[in-house]
Amino acid sequence: MEKQRILWMDIAKALGILIVLIVHSGISLGPVTLFGGMFYMPVFFVLAGMTFTWRKEETFGSFVKKKIRRLLVPYFGYNLFLFLFFFVKDSLLVGRVSPEAFFPLFGILYSRNCLFGMESADNIYFMQILNAPTWFLTGLFVSLIIFWILMRAAKGELRKLFVINSGVLLLAVLLHYFCPILLPWSVDCALYAVSFLTIGKAIAEYGFVEKASKKPLVLLLLIGAFAGLSLVNGSVNMSVADYGHSMVLYLIVGGLGSFLCLELSFLLETYTHYLSAGLAWLGRHTMPVLCLHLFVYSIIGLLLF
C-alpha cells in the first residue's frame, strides 16, 4: 500500500531543492544562501527519517530491494544518460575517443565528487559530467541501510535507537578525522547522516512540528539559536565532508535548520493555498531536479552566451 503523502513534507522538500538550485547557480542571496546552506541537505535526511517505517516482519533483503528500486535505479539511469550525452558530444562527434573519456564511468561507480577534501591541492575529481549532486542518492541509500540495521537492533524503540546511534556517530567522527580519503558511496557521510535520520524519526514520533506551530515564542528562540550557531559553525558542504568547525555543532545546526524548514512548510500549508500546492508539486519531483539541474544550467548557459 502506498503511503499517503503529507503536503507540508512535500513543501519542505521543495524548499530544500530550491536552496540547492540557488546555491549551485552561484547566486548569492545573502541570508537565504548563508542560512539555507546549513540545512538544504540535512532536511532531506530528516524527512527520510520521518517517513521511515520499520516493520518487524520485513526482511533485510526486501528492504534493500525496495531502496534499490527507489534510489539506485534512478541514480544509474540519470548518470548513464549524462555519460552518454557527454561521451557522444566530446568524443564520438569529434572523432577522438581516448581512455580518459571513460573515466566518468569510474566516477559513477565511486559516487563521490572527489577523493580528498576540497582543500587538497592534489585532488582527484570523479564526477565530471555535471553529475556531482547525484552523490546524495547513493549516500541516502547507504544511510537508510545502516538505519534499518539500527532500527532492528533497537527493536523500533526510539530511546534505544538514540543510544545505538551515538556509537555510529562516534565512528563517523573517527572516520572524518583519521581516514585520509572520502569513501565511495559517501559511506563516511552516510554514517554521520544517520543522526539526521534519527532526528527525523523523533520529530515524527512526538509530533514536534505540529506542537511547535502553536508556540511562537519557542519558534523565535529556535530561530535565534539556529542563526547564532550557524554563524559560529561556519559554511558547510556535506558532499565533501566539510561540516564547518564542529561535526557535533553542525548536527545541532542542521537539525535546527531542518526543523524550522519543516515548521515553515507546515505554516505554508496552513495559511496558503496556491503557493503551498505549487511547492508541494515541486516537492514530489525533486529527484529529476536534483540529478539534472546542473545539466540544465549548462544548456541555459550555452543558449544565453
pLDDT digits (tens, 9 = 90+) for 98-147: 999 999 999 999 999 999 988 888 999 999 999 999 999 999 999 999 99
Sign of the four-CA dihedral 169, 13, 294, 68? positive
Task: Provide the Cα torsion 50, 249, 114, 92; round to 10°.
Answer: 40
Cα separation, 125 vs 115, in Å, equals 7
Residue 3 has pLDDT above 80, yes or no: no
Residue 225, classed as helix, strand or coil, is: helix
Return the number of other C-beta atoms located less than 10 Å from residue 25's C-beta.
Answer: 14
Sign of the four-CA dihedral 140, 141, 142, 145? positive
Return the number of other C-beta atoms located less than 10 Å from residue 193's C-beta.
Answer: 30
Residue 305 has pLDDT above 80, yes or no: no
If one compares 49 and 121, the residue with the highest pLDDT of the two is 49
Do the beta carbons of residue 117 and residue 241 sit within 8 Å? yes
Residue 7 has pLDDT above 60, yes or no: yes
Cα separation, 252 vs 233, in Å, equals 10
pLDDT digits (tens, 9 = 90+) for 189-233: 999 999 999 999 999 999 999 999 999 999 999 999 999 999 999
pLDDT digits (tens, 9 = 90+) for 291-302: 999 999 999 998
Residues ≥6 apart with Cβ < 8 Å to 50: 9, 200, 201, 203, 204
Do the beta carbons of residue 25 and residue 297 sit within 8 Å? yes
Cα separation, 40 vs 50, in Å, equals 16
DSSP state of 90: I
Task: Record the cell numbers describing residue 145, joined without a space.
Answer: 541501510
pLDDT digits (tens, 9 = 90+) for 252-289: 999 999 999 999 999 999 999 999 999 999 999 999 99
pLDDT score at 40? 95
Task: Provide the Cα torsion 196, 201, 206, 211; round to 10°.
Answer: 50
Residue among 46, 23, 33, 28 nearest 195 (CA): 46
Do the beta carbons of residue 291 and residue 133 sit within 8 Å? yes
